[in-house]
Amino acid sequence: MPPSILNDALWKCLCPSFRTASIARKARTPRIPRMSSQAPSIAARTPTTNTPSRAHSTAASVQTRNPATRNPFHPSLASSKPPQPSLVHLPTPELYGRLRSDAAAGRYSDVFNIIKILVKDRREPPNLALYSALLRSFVGPEDGTGGKIRRVLDEMSEEGIELDTAACHYVIEALAVHPDYLLRNEILEYMQERWLSLNDKGHNLVVAGLLRDRLFEQALEKIDAMVQQHIAVAPWLYDTALYFLIDYGEVEEAYQLLLMRQNLSNGKPSAALWTHFLGCAARLHHAEAISYIWTTQVTPGYIKPPTTTCLNILNSCARTGNIALATDVFRVLAARGTTFTTHHYEPLLETYLRGNDLEAALSIVVIMAEAGIRVTAETLTALYLYLKSDSHSDANPSPDTDSSPAKNLTQTGENDARPALPLLAFTHLQSLSTSGKKIPIAAVNTCIAALISTTTTSTSSSLPTALSLYTTLPTLSLTPDIHTFNALFRGCHRSVPPRYTLAMHLASEMVALGIAPSALTYDRLVLVCCAAGEWEDAWRYYEEMRGGGFVPRRGMLERLIEGGVSRRDGRVRDVVRDMENLGFVARRGMREMVRGVFGEGEGEWEMGVDMEEVGRRDSRSGNSVG
């Protein structure tokens, strides 16, 4: 009787490859769930005849007598390529060599044909080499799937063939192309149980599979662990990880991974990757990545970003105030002969403002005007927001002061450590005009509008200072436009008390200059009249506005309705009807308020006209702006 061998946990731990006869078959079975009862054709039995046949007759015999070859795992023999005539004449060792090379290249059809010859013609039993080659051939993008890999593993389990280290690596390599998170974990647990180690390539393939599964956090943690354990991270894995992270908008993670790669000097990203990364970072406004790639790749001339990327970088600079980068982007665009438009100048202007360089920003405005670009209030929105954001009402001159902008600026400096920005901007514009530059009227209008915006009910009005800028326009060879008067009308309305007489004087000047009113002009004139209690002028401007085809704003209509109801003016009903026809939704209870005062009937709507106001209206009949 042979001596008994103790088979306990310690023995199994010290010698995991040892198998006793009673548990050998069970121990050889991988712990991988069964997914299909169909076995691949490798395990099909060979023909019972002892006479070897030709390759093509053998294939025909297998096709007719072995239905297992037609399972979903393998294509049918009718659709597969016939074995090459030269293969049947090769010796078996050479066939195994061809099998390994074709499997490494991912040529599934060639691997399948060689396996048919070895199993059917050469009577080779199903073995680990055949299954390993089949698993490795699934690395191709067309023939392999996670389900096919699992079915081959199930067949190996049925045949009692256990995976070795190489076969496990082949599975991991195939799963990097055809991801299956659960199966990959099962293989890794299987290797850990049997003390099978992953080589460097295997670790890289595990990360690649995690990336394909969109498990970016786990993939990055795995890369960090590999770096700490001094496991080589392949350059292609860095490239793959960067592309995945960039394409899914994870720019911050991609940027940190890029810095890690650069610090480790692990290969150089391609120009295509740099360009793609810069484009995505610019689109998502990642300032650090943009600055790093531009400094290290664009400035030395290694890559040339497309124009769209340059525009996105300009928009990003407008957020961060990176003046140096924005200027360099303009240099690159100018070298290409780009025709600059407002799409280029607006972010550059905002960049200088974000960097608190007001003088340079105004120089950009002048450059735009001299380049023939139409400068409008919309173009200078960033300038308006910048000027009014740091304006101080107590820094403006007194309403009773009639002085020049330069004197106002001096008085402002006495009360505040920093002069009011609108006046400072106007002073810069005066200096540019003195040097022969063409100043656009929109720039002065922006200064006036920013001054007006500082007027509140609790502070003194900035309107006198704005008027001083208005009277200085001829010294800049400028003529006011409708936007100039609209800003001043707003100042008249916001002043405490409202400057009704000044508004009428400005309206007369506007008519004398031949400037056509806009809807906003009528809107603000009506509000000035309502605030000053000049209701007849308010109604006259409203009727003139509607006669000119202008669409009023809801706030003005509601103000007319409130004033008309308080005075029992029957014209309120027409305003309510206009409001409904324009699609405006009145405040809750406004129509009920009108009905409660005037009722529903036609005769119940009384005019309630003040004869003294009619007389004043007749005396001011020349104030129409139409």
pLDDT in the model for residue 387: 93
Q: How far is 455 from 37, CA to CA, in rounded Å? A: 84
User: For 299, left (φ over 0), alpha (ψ -120 to 50), or beta?
Assistant: alpha
Give residue 77's pLDDT. 38
- Tell me what pLDDT residue 459 has: 47
**Does the pLDDT at position 60 exceed 80?**
no
What mean pLDDT comes out for the span 537-555?
A: 92
Give the model confidence (pLDDT) of 307-351 as tens digits.
Answer: 999 999 999 999 999 999 999 999 999 999 999 999 999 999 999
CB-based burial label for 370 (10 Å; 0-12, 13-18, 19+):
exposed
Torsion of CA 77, 78, 84, 85, to 10 degrees: 100
pTM above 0.85, yes or no: no
Neighbours of 613 (CB within 10 A): 16
Q: At what angle do helices 200-212 and 235-247 cross, to 10 degrees?
A: 10
pLDDT tens-place string over residues 65-99:
344 433 433 444 334 555 555 778 788 888 888 88
Domain ranges of the chain: 276-356
> pLDDT of 178-189, one tens digit each?
999 999 999 999
* pLDDT of amino acid 390: 57
| pLDDT tens readout for residues 460-481 | 568 999 999 999 999 999 999 9
| pLDDT > 80? residue 549 | yes
Q: Which two tokens stand for residue 149?
A: 């890999």
Collect all residues with Cβ–Cβ distance below 8 Å to 99 and sequence separation of at least 6. 111, 114, 115, 118, 129, 130, 133
Per-residue model confidence (pLDDT) at position 141? 83
What's the confidence (pLDDT) of residue 106? 84
Rg of the chain taking only CA atoms, in angstroms: 42
Q: How far apart are CA 249 and CA 399, in angstroms?
A: 54
Measure the CA–CA gap between 302 and 271, rounded to whole angstroms.
7
pLDDT of residue 568: 84
User: Among 290, 391, 386, 298, which Cα is nearest to 346's?
Assistant: 386
| 146 vs 617: which has the higher pLDDT | 146
Is the pLDDT reported for residue 357 higher than 80? yes
> Which pLDDT value is given to residue 110?
87
